[in-house]
Chains A and B, each alone.
Chain A
């Protein structure tokens, strides 16, 4: 391990210390817009939950850089899988805000469009990491040029499925990128209780999967690392494990109270490393963003969220038939009977 193994392009203060990826100005500003939307999405979803207008929600505050940059470099034909914490990357990948509101709101149907190539965000930790490897194995078998990005948390890396997935990826070399959002916590369990190794990325070596560590609050570093991993995958060189070191500034979910376990000093220290502030400074230094433009951008994003929310809140209640309709392609007779009974009476007899 080098002295500072953590790949960085921008310092927490927003100064450039690495090679800035060669991206068009509008792409650079676009990343910022997504990060602002991520923050607004998270804050407003939490507020809506508090008002009883939304289901349980997992905020992503502090993780905006990784949440944007794990998805932004992907093409439409690529796949993205993740857990509840990757809800926002799904939006970047092409799942409509409205679909995410429906998913968090507990609405049926959860209609992610197929073209987004995102599997409904995962609840059972690390299971999706195996699905990603399977999709990537299928891509390799079909000799297609697509890549699969899969996100999970630091806690999920302790699950058997995560380790089995890395092992399969080492053996079969499919085009998959594992991105661990190490946000320091798995609900209340700190990162050091998950594994004795210093960096989760070190675990790649044991599976023959190349890995790297990035500053997860540096949107450009994550973007560049993902781009390089995707290029490797598409060149047939197999999987990459990326550990993005970031921090969960919010609660685990709206059902959690982090004051019970989170040291306030640690939280304050990470607040100073806010990914959005850092990137805003970079853009302003490059004269790609002014205060007035920033204000306008916030207004636009708020309006976009509001428009989706208006649609969400105008939805009719979900059709109880959907409870049955997606269980099998063709309902077996007993389920057909249950469906009829259920719909006729509106509830069980």
Chain B
């Protein structure tokens, strides 16, 4: 009976309820999308491994490090594996087609990055082909590349027209793995550089160092940088996460703005909802007075109002959450490789549910108190 009363009260003004539900759906959906954008922003750092350190040139990332550092790094106690990576920065057909390309040491790179899952056969043919490339699944899907395709890149840092042959397509070990990257052999880059600009040969962008114990990351980082103090290129070593956050933090202000906007949206719909509930409760004061006369306790009356608010929020909220998934998928596609990882996280869904509940509760507080405190004799008078 109680639930029936709540439900029928909620459906009493169909248009009013429908508009409120629509507002909730849009707000919860917008909140979910914005939260997912923020997540995507930090995805690189989130996906970072705690057992990887990045060693780069202390002056700036644009300055390379000599290949000779590799042997010295190998000697550091606690280091289990080392690989290298070099930003290429080529353009595929037009500038708009942005995706990251790295010249890597194919032999060690995928050992250090086990989250890039490659078929054995494809990996072997990549290793055999000097001009071979390994591309991420998402990237391959975006441009329709298949194994055997030739991908032309126009060099910007390394001038000239380059061509790579797709030998392998890697998948992500989990949803957090970025599968929009492009890898090719550093050796191929280096032999060309040696010919054309010998002074830039035999250098790499960064070293990626695998360590056994993530608890020793800080100590090892300092140890590595100590090794190269006062050498030609001093180094700066940090965890992969810190390295990734270094990129993100430049745009922290945007992230803050997005967060503020998403909570503003929630706040606005809360006001709308509070207005709806206040209107409904005011119209029904004589009914609440009647219920009280019949012996219903104030808290029962109050829970009628809360129940109605929660029911509306539950409908709007679940529709909003349900819509977040398909809309986020479409949005992620449209953004392409700008957001390599674009997934609605369980935390986001939880936050959405929490927002919907908060909206319902906050919006109902004042009307519920008013309804439960209605003075019977006066409330009954309001009839007619």
A joins B in a complex: no
